[in-house]
Chains A and B, each alone.
Chain A
Amino acid sequence: MIIQTDICIIGAGPVGLFAVFEAGLLKMRCHLVDALPQIGGQLSEIYPKKPIYDIPGFPEILAHELVENLRKQIEPFTPSFTLGERVETLERLEGNSFRLTTSDKTEINAKVVVIAGGLGCFEPRKPEIQNLEMFEGKGVNYIVKDPELFRDKRIMIAGGGDSALDWTIYLSNIAKEITLVHRNESFRGAPDSAEKVVELAKEGRINLLLSTNLDSLKGNGVLASVSVTDKNKTVHEIEVDNLIPLFGLSPKLGPLADWGLNIDKSAIEVNTKDYSTNIPGVYAIGDINTYEGKLKLILCGFHEGAIMMQSAFRHVYPEQKLSFKYTTVNGVNAF
Chain B
Amino acid sequence: MINFEVENSAGNQELIEVPEGIDLSLMEVLKGSGYPILATCGGMALCATCRIEVISGEENLPEPQDNELDMLDTLPDAGPQTRLSCQIKIGENLNGLRFKFLAE
Contact = CB atoms under 8 A, between A and B. Distances in A.
Nearest to A129: B76
Contacts of A46: 40-41, 44, 46-47
A247 B41 contact: no
Interface stretch (A25-33, A65-73, A153-161): A153-161
Given A42-B40, A47-B44, A158 B73 contact: no
B73 A184 contact: yes
Most buried by A among B36, B48, B73: B73
Given A128-B77, A184-B73, A245-B76, A250 B46 contact: no
Interface string B79-99: 000000000000000000000
A127 B76 contact: yes
Contact of A247 (B40, B49, B70, B74): B74
A188 interface: yes
A161 B78 CA distance: 13
Contact of A119 (B38, B46, B73, B76): B38
Most buried by A among B36, B47, B104: B47
A82 B4 CA distance: 48
B1 interface: no
Contacts of B78: 183
Contact of A251 (B38, B69, B77): B38
Interface in B30-44: 36, 38, 40-41, 44
A164 B75 CA distance: 12
B47 A161 contact: no
B102 to A, nearest CB: 11
A119 B36 CA distance: 14
B76 A128 contact: yes
A122 to B, nearest CB: 9
A159 B71 CA distance: 12
A125 B38 contact: no
B21 to A, nearest CB: 25
A126 interface: yes
B73 A50 contact: no
Nearest to A128: B77
B73 A47 contact: no
Interface in B1-46: 36, 38, 40-41, 44, 46
A248 B48 contact: yes
Interface in A151-207: 158-161, 164, 183-184, 187-189
Interface residues of A, number: 27
A61 to B, nearest CB: 16
Contacts of B70: 161, 188
Contact of A248 (B38, B66, B69, B75): B75
Interface string A232-261: 000000000000010110110000000000
B104 A188 contact: no
Contact of A126 (B36, B44, B76): B76
A159 B47 contact: no
Given A47-B44, A250-B47, A250-B48, A158 B38 contact: no
Contacts of A126: 76
A247 B48 CA distance: 11
B74 A161 contact: yes
Nearest to B66: A188
Interface in B52-75: 66, 69-70, 73-75
Interface in A206-234: 214
Most buried by B among A46, A187, A189: A46
30 contacts: A42-B41, A46-B40, A46-B44, A47-B41, A47-B44, A47-B46, A50-B44, A119-B40, A125-B75, A126-B76, A127-B76, A128-B76, A158-B76, A159-B74, A159-B76, A161-B70, A161-B74, A184-B73, A187-B73, A188-B66, A188-B69, A188-B73, A245-B76, A247-B74, A247-B76, A248-B75, A250-B47, A251-B47, A251-B49, A265-B36
Given A46-B41, A46-B44, 5 more contacts: A47-B41, A160-B74, A189-B73, A214-B76, A247-B76
